[in-house]
Amino acid sequence: MSLSGAWYLGLAAIVFTIGAIGLLVRRNVLIMFMCIELMLNAANLTFVTFARMLGDIGGQAVVFFVLVVAAAEVVVGLGIVVTNFRRRSTTVADDLNSLKG
Amino acid sequence: MLHPDLLLAATRPTWPDILVFAASAAVILVGAVGVVTSRNPVHAALSLVMTLFGVAVLFIEQEADFLAAVQIIVYAGAIVVLFLFVIMFLGVDRAEDITVEPLGGQRPLAIIFSVITLGGVLAMAATAHWVTGARQVVGPIQGHVTKSLSSPSGEPAQLGKQLFTTYLFAFEATAALLVIAVVGAVVLARRPPTVHADPEDASQSELSA
């Protein structure tokens, strides 16, 4: 039997925090996307841990759907990044200030 | 089966379990910090692969074998490769200067608030009594795979059965979502049509772009 679920939940919380810090601090859109993936993975780890602790496979089904949504999100997000790069030649979020008054 | 109140109770793990958890936790944390602190986007993507492998190991450790395989195939195999594709395609694979802080005082504030949130989540997990409703919706996980093909059991078979019965509507919705994402990506990545000399055509192509 593996370790008690608290260890996994604590690790997931730490990874989620690192991802959140990265999302807030970094300015490169690609790296911000990677930080979102980190946060999604932390949530997935939580779901799998609760699926084991509660003995319910529904948690694993949710992880499956999160994977699908993450894939769709990355495809569309990177499409937007590429389109934006064609117009402005930058992937830095601070440079996208066309709407600045 | 574990009661939720046993969340913090010791379950006498064996030493290989502790070793696997410690090793993969170290891999996950090093990779996660690497994603945030890498100056080069390519290095960040490779650190992300490291984290994803560590999470896959923890999935296997928790009897989620199918999800571990999907994690490697979809995340490490498809999503990160897509990231690397875009990084190389745009030619942004060079180190950027992350020492300058564009918005004064934002980094300390971000770190302080994130750590406060982390402390809150951990304190809540340690003290709260969760109300989880029905504990089992679809039955317990059976860890062992039988050899008989006529009545497959084990975690992948169970997950597949649930996906096509209890979660059938959500499963079909993900199919629609993927099609929409593909169409959206094609529309976004399509080169804008070449502008003709005819001003009417040009204004039309600008409208559609």
- Decide if A84 touches B, using CB distance below 8 A: no
In three-state secondary structure terms, B28 is helix
CA distances from A89 to A86, B11, B77, B89, B173 (A): 6, 55, 28, 12, 36
- Decide if A58 touches B, using CB distance below 8 A: yes
Give per-residue pLDDT as tens, B36-61: 999 899 999 999 999 999 999 999 99
pLDDT of residue B161: 86
CA angle B121, B126, B130 (to 5 degrees): 85
Interface touch B110/A25, C-beta < 8 Å: yes
Question: Which chain A residues are closer than 8 Å to B10 by Cβ?
Answer: 4
pTM of the model: 0.83
CB A32 within 8 A of CB A93: yes
Question: Which chain B residues are closer than 8 Å to A1 by Cβ?
Answer: 11-14, 17
Question: Which chain B residues are closer than 8 Å to A41 by Cβ?
Answer: 51-52, 55, 75
CB B18 within 8 A of CB A7: no
Nearest beta carbon to residue B21 from set A7, A24, A72: A7
CA distances from B167 to A42, A75, B141, B178 (A): 23, 24, 16, 17
> Does residue B2 register a pLDDT over 60?
no
Give me the amino acid identity at B148.
S
Q: Which of B17-26, B131-140, B195-204 has the highest mean pLDDT?
A: B17-26
Lowest-pLDDT choice from B73-77, B128-132, B162-166: B128-132
Q: Which residue has the higher pLDDT, B73 or B155?
A: B73
CA gap B109, B127 in Å, rounded: 27
Residue B128 backbone phi and psi in degrees, to 5: -75, 155
Interface touch B106/A25, C-beta < 8 Å: yes
CA gap B86, A82 in Å, rounded: 7
ipTM exceeding cut-off 0.95 for this assembly: no
Residues B23-41 have a mean pLDDT of 94
- Decide if A46 touches B, using CB distance below 8 A: no
> Does residue B1 register a pLDDT over 60?
no
Give per-residue pLDDT as tens, B91-112: 877 777 777 777 778 888 889 9
Q: Which helix (H) or strand (E) holds B86?
A: helix B80-90
CA distances from A52 to A8, B4, B37, B164, B165 (A): 11, 11, 33, 21, 21
- Decide if A32 touches B, using CB distance below 8 A: no
Q: If you search the block for the tokens 């290095």, which residue do you land on?
A: B43
- Decide if A99 touches B, using CB distance below 8 A: no
CB A42 within 8 A of CB A12: yes
pLDDT of residue B131: 61
Mean per-residue pLDDT pooled into runs of 10, chain A (101 residues): 80 94 90 94 93 84 93 92 85 80 70
